[in-house]
Chains A and B, each alone.
Chain A
Amino acid sequence: MKFEVRDLSYSFGDKKVLSNISFEAADGEFLGLMGPNGSGKTTLLRCMTNYLETPEGRILINGEPLQSLMPSELARTFAVVPQSSSTDFVFSAYDIVMMGRIPHMASRIAGHRKSDVEIVRAAMEKTDTLRFASRPFFALSGGERQRVVIARAIAQQPQGLLLDEPTVYLDINGQFEIMDLIRKLNREGGISVVAVLHDVNLAARYCDRIALLSQGHLEAIGEPKDVLTPEIIRGVYGIDVVIRKDPFTNAVYVMPHSTVAIAHTHGRRVHLLCGGGTGGPVMKALLDGGFGVSAGVLNVLDSDFQNAEDLHITTVAEAPFAPIGDSSHAENLKLISSSSAVIVSPFPVGPGNLKNLEAAKTAVNSDKTVFILPPEPGKGIDFVGGKADATIKELIRSGAIQVDGIEDLLRRLSRGGGG
């Protein structure tokens, strides 16, 4: 199924929602439509399904103008999966899927043929929904309902699938389930996919190409790595991001980068090496004490990352489940060199973040003041077979100052420790 959109504009009354959008969705492609709220992506999709009937511009499907096709013809060409489906009326899952055969029915009074039943059964098998075929649709969970709706879409035997934020009401389990299913249909079934997606990383992971909309304009279209750049994202979403590569899928991974001006009440910024939640209280105390704070390297899933975000602290971040990479480490060192002191909180050290202690070593060796906060009595922080404890001992030997606690730290910092 090939979509061509040429100079498409659409207005609700005098409010222009889409302006001169032109792109093509190639046959067999998995195209993502993205954009912030209000960018017009759902409107664009609705123009493509002909639900909104009078846009300016042209939409061609397989070379034919969209408006020239009968509703049933359109329904045989592509199937639509909405954000969510529900009905108060008692239809079984099977009934819902069977409705996908409506565009294929010969006449108003024709009944189901054996072929219809077989197609429905196959569609439900493919989506693993056969087991609740006779259960009422409204009694299923959100993920199960979406799978049933996808089965219905498959039953339409379409050349393409149009989806409107299909995972927005699903939990993380359901999200990947659905997206994997759609990708399977795309790759194995040759069904073209045009999906409005809200989750940047989901889109990056699954789409061949992404079309990025902003305020009704098509800002960029291309492969994820070309479209999801910090500059484009800043322009469209207004946030600063850092682009990483997902260590498992090699897909582009977007992480928000908190940029807040660093307060220099003392005229000084200290850098905090932390993790595992140990940095939170330290950050707060330092900020309250009038110091600027930066932190790193923190894994995005680490609670200290969230703490830093909440406190608007510049952080060097690393992708989830990933060990500290070279670029993060380098950034960390950069921040250390421009800070007036380095603080090491008693974070649990594993092979992934051992590099943070190395960064502390580098700091000590370059004559930076390094403070080390002790762990809670009885709590071990070494998960690298003794290497962490050894490194810390080495740090102290090399000049790092072991303080008694946060108050002690603040006193020493205010007395002017650092340089």
Chain B
Amino acid sequence: MGTEYQRIIRRRILILSALPFVLFATAIIGTFIGPSGPIGPGIKTDTGEIQRISIGDAIDAIFNGHGNWPFDYHAIFWTQRIPRVLLAVLVGAGLACAGTAMQAVFRNPMADPFIVGVSSGASVGAVAATLTGLAAYAVVGTFLTPLLAFCSALITVFVVYRLGTVKGKVYVDTLLLSGVAMAAFLGAIVSALIYFARQEFHRIIFWLLGSLSMQSWTADAILVVTVGIGVLVIFLYSRDLNALLLGEETAHNLGTDPEALKTIMLIVAAIMTSAAVAFTGVIGFIGLIIPHMMRIVVGADHRILVPASTLAGAIFLVWADAIARTVISPNTLPVGIVTAMCGGPFFLYLLRRSRVEGEK
């Protein structure tokens, strides 16, 4: 079969097996990055001096509590850093994995996890939650926004799914167009809501731009379950996804069930993405760009691509968030801005590259 081909396969598997280690290292480093250090710009106190905890002290504080340190690094680490990095890992993984599945189902490299209406649906819920003004309050507020966002996202996906399905058969092109139409319609509603509540707009702007600041151990727990199950299911259907890329009739003739596959993938991706978006808002580009990048690096075989994208998405978001938290320290940028800024130019580069390849 050509030793060159064997070499390619071996290299791809090597890359894939390196990724979990890279993720682990990234996560560890990510928890050490922040305004108060040890990796970071430090915090200027009122006296003008810069406070940054050293690595040794940080490690000590992590395991031994508040102790003598000038500030409660133990609390910062366990209540701010870790849940945050964990959230970045889960959301990045979920979005990238869902994006990979959607690109296969729609056989369209421009598909992303929001394509069936998740982002527009969730936005309606989130903005509506803000409008009630309850978002300010403790228990209700913390979960009202994610809850409403999650529910409205799922409802939207359901409507789009029904629009794109005739007698049990999923028509992918109709689904795509329905998603676009819903996005336009709901986008108008969101704009109207924002306009009428524009004095409250600042409350929701971080969600709308995509932010990891609604982190909590509860959010992490919910996402561990949804993203974990979602990634597992999508991975198990990798072979079927490969076949689906050749066309539905071919996939059918190879012994898979394209209708069931499309439905399962849509449901799983929708739940996974909606859960992520509920807490973080619409973080763009990960679901679209990461699968493309990984396809270039490890090929289109989903048995390698799905885990590779998942891990790469997690790694990417951890770094993006680290940047978002430190670049204008002590202020925080919405992470969606960072991902867009990375994603946009990269996408142009990809486009140009594929065009050059095509002209060859």
| Touching chains A and B, CB distance < 8 Å | yes
Q: Which residues of A does B touch, CB under 8 Å?
A: 46, 49-51, 70-76, 79-80, 82, 85, 87-92, 94-96, 99-100, 102-103, 105, 108-109, 117, 120-121, 130, 133-134, 156
Give the residues from 241 to 257 in chain B that come closer than 8 angstroms, CB to CB, to chain A: 242-243, 245-247, 249-250, 252-257
| Complex contacts, A46 vs chain B, CB 8 Å | 249
Is B236 a contact of A108 with CB atoms below 8 Å? yes
| Complex contacts, A72 vs chain B, CB 8 Å | 255-256
How long is the Cα–Cα vector from A91 to B237 in the complex, in angstroms?
18
Most buried by B among A82, A87, A89: A89
Give 3 nearest A-B pairs by CB, closest first.
A75-B255, A103-B255, A134-B5
| Complex contacts, B72 vs chain A, CB 8 Å | none
| Given A71-B257, A75-B254, A108-B237: A99 in contact with B243 (beta carbons within 8 A) | yes
Is B246 a contact of A99 with CB atoms below 8 Å? yes
| Complex contacts, B250 vs chain A, CB 8 Å | 80, 82, 85
How long is the Cα–Cα vector from A30 to B199 in the complex, in angstroms?
76
Contacting residue for B1 out of A51, A94, A100, A156, CB 8 A: A94
Is A90 a contact of B300 with CB atoms below 8 Å? yes
Confirm or deny: B173 has a beta carbon within 8 angstroms of a beta carbon on chain A: no
Q: With CB as the reference atom, state the residue of chain B lying closest to A162.
A: B253
How long is the Cα–Cα vector from A46 to B249 in the complex, in angstroms?
9
How long is the Cα–Cα vector from A76 to B242 in the complex, in angstroms?
18
How long is the Cα–Cα vector from A51 to B250 in the complex, in angstroms?
10
Selected A-B contacts with CB under 8 Å, 16 pairs? A46-B249, A70-B255, A71-B256, A75-B254, A76-B255, A80-B249, A80-B250, A85-B247, A87-B247, A90-B300, A94-B5, A95-B300, A99-B243, A99-B254, A109-B236, A121-B1
| Given A88-B109, A90-B300, A117-B1: A102 in contact with B239 (beta carbons within 8 A) | yes
Contacting residue for A134 out of B4, B107, B252, B254, CB 8 A: B4
Give the residues from 83 to 133 in chain B that come closer than 8 angstroms, CB to CB, to chain A: 107, 109
Q: B301: shortest Cβ distance to chain A, in Å? A: 6
Is A79 a contact of B253 with CB atoms below 8 Å? yes
| Complex contacts, A121 vs chain B, CB 8 Å | 1
Confirm or deny: B295 has a beta carbon within 8 angstroms of a beta carbon on chain A: yes
| Complex contacts, B236 vs chain A, CB 8 Å | 108-109
Most buried by A among B8, B236, B237, B246: B246
Chain B interface secondary structure, helix, strand, loop or mixed? loop
How long is the Cα–Cα vector from A103 to B255 in the complex, in angstroms?
5
Is B242 a contact of A99 with CB atoms below 8 Å? yes
Confirm or deny: B2 has a beta carbon within 8 angstroms of a beta carbon on chain A: yes
Is A134 a contact of B2 with CB atoms below 8 Å? yes
Q: A106: shortest Cβ distance to chain B, in Å? A: 12
How long is the Cα–Cα vector from A96 to B5 in the complex, in angstroms?
14
How long is the Cα–Cα vector from A50 to B256 in the complex, in angstroms?
12
Q: B273: shortest Cβ distance to chain A, in Å? A: 22
Confirm or deny: B40 has a beta carbon within 8 angstroms of a beta carbon on chain A: no
How long is the Cα–Cα vector from A95 to B299 in the complex, in angstroms?
11
How long is the Cα–Cα vector from A413 to B236 in the complex, in angstroms?
84
| Complex contacts, B252 vs chain A, CB 8 Å | 49-51, 71
| Given A71-B255, A71-B257, A103-B255: A133 in contact with B1 (beta carbons within 8 A) | yes
Give the residues from 217 to 260 in chain B that come closer than 8 angstroms, CB to CB, to chain A: 236-237, 239, 242-243, 245-247, 249-250, 252-257
Is B2 a contact of A133 with CB atoms below 8 Å? yes
How long is the Cα–Cα vector from A270 to B246 in the complex, in angstroms?
59
Is B243 a contact of A102 with CB atoms below 8 Å? yes
| Complex contacts, A76 vs chain B, CB 8 Å | 255
How long is the Cα–Cα vector from A418 to B338 in the complex, in angstroms?
95
How long is the Cα–Cα vector from A76 to B253 in the complex, in angstroms?
10
Is B1 a contact of A85 with CB atoms below 8 Å? no
| Complex contacts, A79 vs chain B, CB 8 Å | 253
Contacting residue for A102 out of B5, B245, B256, B295, CB 8 A: B256
Most buried by A among B4, B236, B254, B299: B254
| Complex contacts, B300 vs chain A, CB 8 Å | 89-91, 95
Q: With CB as the reference atom, state the residue of chain B lying closest to A100.
A: B254
| Given A49-B253, A102-B256, A108-B239: A87 in contact with B246 (beta carbons within 8 A) | yes
How long is the Cα–Cα vector from A105 to B254 in the complex, in angstroms?
11
Is A82 a contact of B254 with CB atoms below 8 Å? no
Q: With CB as the reference atom, state the residue of chain B lying closest to A92.
A: B5
| Given A91-B301, A99-B246, A108-B239: A134 in contact with B1 (beta carbons within 8 A) | yes
| Given A87-B245, A130-B1: A103 in contact with B295 (beta carbons within 8 A) | no
How long is the Cα–Cα vector from A71 to B236 in the complex, in angstroms?
18
Contacting residue for B255 out of A85, A94, A102, A133, CB 8 A: A102
Q: A418: shortest Cβ distance to chain B, in Å? A: 63
Task: Map CB proximity to A onto B1-16 as digits: 1 under 8 Å, 0 otherwise.
Answer: 1101100100000000
Q: A403: shortest Cβ distance to chain B, in Å? A: 60
Contacting residue for A51 out of B4, B8, B253, CB 8 A: B253
Q: With CB as the reference atom, state the residue of chain A lying closest to B168.
A: A53
How long is the Cα–Cα vector from A232 to B2 in the complex, in angstroms?
52
| Given A79-B253, A103-B254: A89 in contact with B245 (beta carbons within 8 A) | yes
Q: A341: shortest Cβ distance to chain B, in Å? A: 60
How long is the Cα–Cα vector from A102 to B241 in the complex, in angstroms?
11
Q: B5: shortest Cβ distance to chain A, in Å? A: 4
| Complex contacts, A73 vs chain B, CB 8 Å | 255
| Complex contacts, A71 vs chain B, CB 8 Å | 252, 255-257
Q: A119: shortest Cβ distance to chain B, in Å? A: 12
| Complex contacts, A92 vs chain B, CB 8 Å | 5
Most buried by B among A50, A96, A105, A108: A108
| Complex contacts, A102 vs chain B, CB 8 Å | 239, 243, 254-256
Q: With CB as the reference atom, state the residue of chain A lying closest to B235.
A: A109
How long is the Cα–Cα vector from A79 to B242 in the complex, in angstroms?
17
Q: A335: shortest Cβ distance to chain B, in Å? A: 51
Is A134 a contact of B246 with CB atoms below 8 Å? no
How long is the Cα–Cα vector from A105 to B255 in the complex, in angstroms?
10
How long is the Cα–Cα vector from A73 to B254 in the complex, in angstroms?
10
Is B249 a contact of A51 with CB atoms below 8 Å? yes
Most buried by A among B107, B250, B255, B300: B255
Q: B239: shortest Cβ distance to chain A, in Å? A: 6
